[in-house]
Every structure is written in C-alpha cells, then in structure tokens.
C-alpha cells in the first residue's frame, strides 16, 4: 500500500488482484465517509445497438440485484442507515456514489458492489425505464439552456458516437433490450477500467471490506477509443417557432485533463467568464446589456477538452454579441492578462479548489476522475506558478482554432455566423 499526503489529506492507495484501483483519503475531522466508484464506461464507448446503454444502466441497476431483488431492497442498504446514494453518466465516465456515517462504510460497499456487479436487469424494468428515460430526454430538449451543450457535440464531434446525445435519442432507447444492457455491462464494467475512492473517517477494516465486496469484479483489458475534434468551423442550428431568445454556445478545442495546459485553460475561463469582474461578463452584460444568462466552461477528459462560452441573446443582437466575444478573445490572446487579473483569477481558482476540498463527496469524485485521467499534478501548485505569458500563449493556442457554433432560436440561418476565426483577423 502506498501512502502520500496532498492538500492536508492522507492518501493510501492499493490495487486488488483483478486490477481495481482503490484510493483511501483520510479526513479524521469528518463524521462521514463518502464512496465513489468511477469507470471508463460512459456513452462514447457505445457501439451499434448499444446507443443509450451506458446511461440506461445507471437507471436499471437500481431496480434490483442478486442479493437484493427489488428497487426498495437495494435502496434500503444505504437509506436504512441514514445514507444517501446516486449515479451519473457522462460521455467518458460512469459514477456510482454513496455517503453515510463512517461506521456504515460496509453498507456503502455492499450497495456499490451490488449495483455495479450483480444487477438483475429484468425485462419488465427495462420497459419501465424506457418510458422514464423518454421523459428525461423530452425534459432537457424542452429547455434550450439545458439542451444547447448537448446539441453542441454534433458539430464538435461529427459522425462519431460522442457527437450524439449522452442518453441516446428516443428512437435509440426504444431499441434497448435487457441483453444489450447485460452485454454492455460485461464488456465495459471491468476492474482495470474503474477506481474506488473512499474519503472521510475511514475504519481500519476498509481494505479488508473492499476486497470482500470487489474481488469478484471481472478483470480484463480496458476498452480503448479515440475521438476526432472537428478542425473546421461548424454551425449547428435548431429553429423553434415559439423561441423568443437565442441560446448560443461558441466552443473551441481545449486541452485534455492530464496536461499542464488544462490548468492554464481553467484560469483563462475565469478571466473571461467567472464573476462580475470577468472580461466577458463586464462587456456582454454590464456594458452592452445583451444578456441576463452568461456562462463559460472548461470541460476535460482523457481524450479531449472543450472551452465553451454560452449565453441567451436577442436574435437581433447576435452579430454584435459574436463580434464582442471574438474581440475579447483576440485581446487576451494578443496581450495576455494584467497582473491584477492574473492574481485575482489564480486566487479564485485556488479558492474554488479549496472550497471543494472541504466536502468528502467532492474529494472522492475529484480524485477518482484524476486517477482515470492519469493526472498526478497538484492543482494548488499548478495555479501558484502560472504567469501572464502562460495565459497569453494558451489563449492563443485555443482561440486561434476555428470556432464551433451551436444555437437554438426562431429564424436563425448560417449567414449570421461568419467566420470569426482569430487566425484570419
């Protein structure tokens, strides 16, 4: 077992014989223990008739397992001791998590092993969740703000599974069968593709309990996949007759989560879009009053990174909005940040990280994802050593690339979206 100390927390890591990586993060001042089982089994790994299977599994595994053959019985494992539980599916990663008082760690491990290793996947439950997931899809499609980032993947990753909806679309869900789900579980839920992180006041029996409940997780070679980012500017538009506002997202290829550049890109997103003092917030909302909703994000995985700028804009102001955004991106790429901006935004990055580190559930999720990304960097230290030159250089490398436009509006057409690539300015 390897012991290390990071950010004031004591880490112990070990692997089971089947290849499952386990990380124990000790926080002795906590009364709770959080568990996160994460693996490279998200929707971008789906193929053929499996479209929608990754997210569908997140639903169906909670309906009953080998030893707990009903939805209520599965939930009772954790809820009867006052705990909480949940799951999430992204493009790259699937996660199952729990949080209980520290003395009930075993209940969490029973729960996680049952849902991930021994789900029943009964036909009747599959049919029930087809209806539920259909409503989930209709719900986020009805909201331009929620649907926009999902729609954006079509232009960013054309003609690839990752470019489709994470859930699959309604027609895909109708084709899902229990056999498809079992096959996906067998193919993707392999110990070397997963990591189990336990954070909080950890009992001395933790390592023994992990082995007891996860030694049966299948071994095997992890699946590998590559994705191709669109190297040309794209426009994805959806017009709806009753929309009175345009939801627009401008995206650029950024850096993967296991690079130094990723941490610079995070600070760039804060300089441009975090807080009232950020450049785009001041320009778009405070100076020109073009938007109420405005956001900026930096999403990373092992395979790709995306930096996105999103807002709700009146259609008549679209060209002005795009021009203002591109001008600010060009300014940062050309001149870099002021020393005041750099200090403020690196402090912000460190603060956000520190706030997150106060919560055992966040810590478990954070270090699970870092392990799967292959990123061993100390985030606090990365922010401390950033320079204005770093920001200018990485901003240029991101924003010199062709923008990917996605918009939901009423009467939009591609002519509105001129080529604002910074290279051509």
Asked whether residue 178 falls in the same domain as residue 271, the answer is no
Query: What percent of the chain clears pLDDT 90, i.e. is strictly above it?
Result: 92
Q: pLDDT tens, 168-178?
A: 999 999 999 99
pLDDT at 420: 56
Does pLDDT of 61 surpass 50? yes
pLDDT at 8: 63
**b/e sequence 211-221, b meaning 16+ C-beta within 10 Å:** bebbeebeebe
Does residue 42 lie in a domain region? yes
Other C-beta atoms closer than 10 Å to the C-beta of 276 total 8
Containing structural domain, residue 397: 234-424
Asked whether residue 134 falls in the same domain as residue 17, the answer is yes
Mean pLDDT of 59-77: 96
Does residue 378 lie in a domain region? yes
pLDDT at 250: 97
DSSP letters for 40-67: S-SGGG--GGGTTHHHHHHHHGGG-BSS
Question: Does residue 280 contact residue 309 with C-beta atoms inside 8 Å?
Answer: yes
pLDDT at 386: 96
Mean pLDDT (the chain, rounded) = 94
Asked whether residue 366 falls in the same domain as residue 395, the answer is yes
pLDDT at 293: 87
Does residue 229 lie in a domain region? no
Asked whether residue 200 falls in the same domain as residue 247, the answer is no
Asked whether residue 15 falls in the same domain as residue 144, the answer is yes
Does pLDDT of 417 surpass 90? no
**CA 286 – CA 300 distance, rounded (Å):** 29
pTM for this one?
A: 0.94
Mean pLDDT of 356-370: 95
pLDDT at 5: 62
The domain boundary, picked from 180, 214, 248, lies at: 214
Per the structure, the count of domains in the chain is 2
What's 398's domain CATH number? 3.30.830.10
Asked whether residue 151 falls in the same domain as residue 290, the answer is no
**CA 132 – CA 73 distance, rounded (Å):** 20
Does pLDDT of 381 surpass 80? yes
Does residue 61 lie in a domain region? yes
Does pLDDT of 254 surpass 50? yes
Does residue 224 lie in a domain region? no
Does pLDDT of 115 surpass 90? yes
Mean pLDDT of 207-234: 94
Asked whether residue 159 falls in the same domain as residue 287, the answer is no
Asked whether residue 165 falls in the same domain as residue 21, the answer is yes
Does residue 221 lie in a domain region? no
How far, in Å, are 42, 196, 288, 312 from residue 95 at the CA level? 9, 10, 41, 31
Question: Does residue 54 contact residue 94 with C-beta atoms inside 8 Å?
Answer: yes
Asked whether residue 122 falls in the same domain as residue 44, the answer is yes
pLDDT at 424: 45
Higher pLDDT, 387 or 9: 387
Q: pLDDT tens, 393-414?
A: 999 999 999 999 999 999 998 8
C-alpha distance across the termini of the chain, in Å: 55
pLDDT at 4: 67
The domain boundary, picked from 150, 180, 214, lies at: 214
CA torsion, ordered 8, 341, 274, 6, to nearest 10 deg: -10
Asked whether residue 200 falls in the same domain as residue 250, the answer is no
Does residue 220 lie in a domain region? no
pLDDT at 416: 84
Asked whether residue 103 falls in the same domain as residue 25, the answer is yes
Does residue 247 lie in a domain region? yes
Q: pLDDT confidence of 223, banded at 50, 70, 90?
A: confident
Question: Does residue 44 contact residue 91 with C-beta atoms inside 8 Å?
Answer: yes
Asked whether residue 244 falls in the same domain as residue 390, the answer is yes
Q: pLDDT tens, 317-335?
A: 999 999 999 999 999 999 9
């Amino acid at each position: 077992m390897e012991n290390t100390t990071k950010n004031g927390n004591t880490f112990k890591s070990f692997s089971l014989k089947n290849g499952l990586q386990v990380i124990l993060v000790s926080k002795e001042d906590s009364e709770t223990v959080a568990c996160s089982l994460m693996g490279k089994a998200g929707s971008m790994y789906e193929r053929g008739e499996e479209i929608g299977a990754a997210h569908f599994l997140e639903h169906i595994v909670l309906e009953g397992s080998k030893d707990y053959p009903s939805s209520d019985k599965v939930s009772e494992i954790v809820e009867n001791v006052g705990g909480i539980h949940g799951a999430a599916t992204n493009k790259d990663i699937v996660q199952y998590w729990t949080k209980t008082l520290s003395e009930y760690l075993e209940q969490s491990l029973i729960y996680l092993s049952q849902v991930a290793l021994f789900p029943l996947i009964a036909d009747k439950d599959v049919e029930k969740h087809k209806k539920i997931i259909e409503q989930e899809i209709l719900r986020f499609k009805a909201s331009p703000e929620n649907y926009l980032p999902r729609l954006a993947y079509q232009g960013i990753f054309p003609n690839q599974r990752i470019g489709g909806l994470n859930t699959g679309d309604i027609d895909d869900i109708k084709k899902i069968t229990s056999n498809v789900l079992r096959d996906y579980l067998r193919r993707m839920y392999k110990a070397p593709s997963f990591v189990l992180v336990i954070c909080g006041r950890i009992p001395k029996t933790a390592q023994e309990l992990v082995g007891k409940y996860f030694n049966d997780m299948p071994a095997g070679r992890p699946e590998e996949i590559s994705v191709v980012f669109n190297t040309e500017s794209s426009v994805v538009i959806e017009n709806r007759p009753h929309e009175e506002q345009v939801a627009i997202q401008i995206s650029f290829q950024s850096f993967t989560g296991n690079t130094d550049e990723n941490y610079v890109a995070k600070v760039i997103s804060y300089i441009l879009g975090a807080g009232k003092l950020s450049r785009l917030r001041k320009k778009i909302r405070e100076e020109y009053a073009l938007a109420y909703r405005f956001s900026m994000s930096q999403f990373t995985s092992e395979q790709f990174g995306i930096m996105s700028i999103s807002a709700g804009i009146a259609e008549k102001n679209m060209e002005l909005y795009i021009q203002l955004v591109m001008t600010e991106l060009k300014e940062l790429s050309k001149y870099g940040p002021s020393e005041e901006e750099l200090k403020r935004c690196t402090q912000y990055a460190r603060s956000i990280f520190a706030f997150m580190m106060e919560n055992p559930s966040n810590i478990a999720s954070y270090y699970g994802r870092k392990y799967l990304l292959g990123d061993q960097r100390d985030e606090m230290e990365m922010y401390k050593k950033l320079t204005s030159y770093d920001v200018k250089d990485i901003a240029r490398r991101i924003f010199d690339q062709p923008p990917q436009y996605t918009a939901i509006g009423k009467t939009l057409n591609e002519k509105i979206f001129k080529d604002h690539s910074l290279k051509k300015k």
